[in-house]
Amino acid sequence: MGNLAIYLRYVVAPHMLNLIITISALLGTVIVSATEQDLYQIAIAPSSKRIANDIQTLVDFGTRHTLSSTQSNSRGIGAARRWLASEFEEISENCGHCLEIITVGDIVSGQRIPNPTEVVNVVAILRGVEDPNRFVIMSGDIDSRVSDPMDAESDSPGANDNASGVAGVLEAARILTKHKFKASIAFVGLSGEEQGLYGGAILANYAVEKKWNIDAVLNNDMIGNITGQNGVVNNTSARVFSEGTRHTETEEEARIRRFQGGEVDSASRNLARYIKRVGDQYVPNLDVMVVYRLDRFARGGHHRPFNEVGFPAVRIMETNENYTQQHQDLREEHGVYFGDTIEHVDFKYAAKITGLNAATLASIAWAPAPPQSVTIRGQVSSDTTLSWNKVAGAAHYRLHWRLTTSPSWDYHRDVGDVDTFTLDNIIIDNYYFGVSSVSEKGLGSPVVFPGPAGAF
What's the pLDDT tens digit per position in 322-350?
999 999 999 999 999 999 999 999 999 99
Letter for the amino acid at 415?
V
**What is the band of 36 on the pLDDT scale with cuts at 50, 70, 90?**
confident
pLDDT higher than threshold 80 for residue 21: no
d(CA 157, CA 60): 7
Q: Give the residue-averaged pLDDT of 61-84.
A: 99
Angle, nearest 10°, between helix axes 164-176 and 48-59? Answer: 130
Q: Which helix (H) or strand (E) holds 372?
A: strand 372-377
Residue 442 neighbours by CB under 8 Å, 6+ apart: 33, 35, 36
Parallel/antiparallel/unpaired status of strands 396-403 and 336-338: unpaired
Letter for the amino acid at 8?
L
State the Rg of the chain over Cα: 22
**What is the band of 10 on the pLDDT scale with cuts at 50, 70, 90?**
very low
For 130, phi then psi, to 5°, come to -115, -35
**What is the band of 136 on the pLDDT scale with cuts at 50, 70, 90?**
very high
pLDDT higher than threshold 80 for residue 88: yes
Q: Give the residue-averaged pLDDT of 10-31.
A: 38
Question: Is the model's pTM score more than 0.75?
Answer: yes
pLDDT higher than threshold 60 for residue 26: no
Q: Tell me the CB-side half-sphere exposure of residue 398, using CA atoms within 13 A.
A: 22
Percentage of the chain surpassing pLDDT 90? 92
Domains of the chain: 2-32 (no CATH), 47-366 (3.40.630.10), 372-438 (2.60.40.10)
d(CA 11, CA 364): 23
pLDDT higher than threshold 80 for residue 34: no
**pLDDT averaged over every residue in the chain:** 93
Q: Give the residue-averaged pLDDT of 382-406.
A: 98
Q: What pLDDT shows up at residue 31?
A: 31
pLDDT higher than threshold 70 for residue 18: no
Q: Give the residue-averaged pLDDT of 401-428.
A: 98
Q: What pLDDT shows up at residue 3?
A: 42
d(CA 382, CA 49): 57
CB atoms within 10 A of CB 102: 15
Angle, nearest 10°, between helix axes 347-366 and 164-176? Answer: 50
Percentage of the chain surpassing pLDDT 70? 93
d(CA 271, CA 289): 13
Q: What pLDDT shows up at residue 23?
A: 35
Residue 19 neighbours by CB under 8 Å, 6+ apart: none
Q: Give the residue-averaged pLDDT of 371-393.
A: 98
Which of 29-38, 53-62, 218-227, 387-396 has the lowest average pLDDT?
Answer: 29-38
CB-based burial label for 217 (10 Å; 0-12, 13-18, 19+) = buried
CB-based burial label for 369 (10 Å; 0-12, 13-18, 19+) = buried
**What is the band of 25 on the pLDDT scale with cuts at 50, 70, 90?**
very low
- For 329-361, the DSSP string reads -SEEETTEEES--GGG--HHHHHHHHHHHHHHH
Alpha helices for 32-159 (secondary structure H) = 34-43, 48-59, 77-94
d(CA 104, CA 123): 7
pLDDT higher than threshold 80 for residue 19: no
d(CA 300, CA 260): 30
pLDDT higher than threshold 50 for residue 365: yes
What's the pLDDT tens digit per position in 113-128?
999 999 999 999 999 9
